[in-house]
Amino acid sequence: MKVENNQPIKIGIRKAIRLDVPQIFELIQELALFEKAPHEVTNSPEQLLKDGFGENPLYGCYVALANEKAVGMALYYFRYSTWKGKRLYLEDIIVNEKYRGKQIGRHLMDAVLDESLKTNCSGILWQVLDWNEPAIQFYKKYNPTFDNEWINVAMSKDDVSLYLSKL
C-alpha cells in the first residue's frame, strides 16, 4: 500500500492498547469535524482510558496502524436485546481522511465481525447517518438490513437531570 509521495506503508490491525488512546481521541475529533458537530464531543482521552482500559472495560477497540501510528479505529461494545440476547454494537469506524480508500475500513470491519463471532454474539448492529453516502455504500457491501422503521431517541445527562428535578 502506498500513501504520500509513493512511500510504501504497512497497515496492521490489532486491539487497541492504553498508549493508543490519544490517537483514538484525535480520530474521534476528526469524525466530529466531518459530521459538522465538533461541539458535541464531551468525551476526553482520560475518560476513554478509564472506560476502555479499567477493571471493567465498557468498550473494545481495534486500531489500524500505519508506521506505528493509529490511522483508523473501530470502537464497539456489547448490548443485550430482550429478543436476541447478546449483540455487538459497532459505535464507529473512523479512518483518517488521507488513508481512506485503501481497504482500512474493510479490515477494521472484518475484525469487528470476527469479534462478534468469537464472543458468541447473536448479531451486530450499527447506525449510519442518512446523508453519509460513502459510509452507506461501504456498509452495503456487507449485505446488512437497513431499518427505516425505528426512530433514534436520546437524552443528554442534562436532559435527564432536568426531567428528574421536576418529579
Active-site residue numbers? 139
Q: Pick from 130, 136, 69, 65: which is nearest to 102 by CA?
A: 65
Instruction: Report the distance separating Cα 83 and Cα 34, nearest Å.
Output: 35
DSSP designation for 120: T
Number of neighbouring beta carbons within 10 Å of residue 111: 17
Contact indicator for 91, 116 with CB cutoff of 8 Å: no
**Amino acid at position 66, single letter:** A
